Amino acid sequence: MGPVSMETSAQEKARPMRVEIRGFEPKDYPRIVEISNLLYAPHRWTEDEARYEDEHFDKKYFFRRWVAEDPASREVVAAGELNHMPWSYHPQKFWMDLQVHPGWQRRGIGQTMYDKLSAELQSQNAIVIRTSAQESKTDSVRWIQRRGFVEKMRN
Q: Containing domain of residue 89, as a range?
A: 19-146
Task: Give pLDDT, residue 152.
Answer: 87
For residues 29-62, one letter each, b for 16 or more C-beta atoms within 10 angstroms of the residue's C-beta and e for the rest, the string is: bebbbebbeebeeeeeeeeeebeeeeeeeeeeeb
Contacts of 150 (CB under 8 A, 6+ apart): none
In total, how many domains does the chain have?
1
Residue 14 lies in a domain: no
Residue 8 lies in a domain: no
State the sign of the Cα–Cα–Cα–Cα dihedral 122, 102, 36, 69: positive
Q: Report which residue type is found at 64.
A: R
Q: How do the pLDDT tens digits run along the chain, 155 residues long?
A: 333 333 434 554 455 568 999 999 999 999 999 999 999 988 899 999 999 999 999 999 999 999 999 999 999 999 999 999 999 999 999 999 999 999 999 999 999 999 999 999 999 999 999 998 888 888 989 999 999 889 888 77
CATH number at residue 95: 3.40.630.30
Task: Give pLDDT, residue 151.
Answer: 86
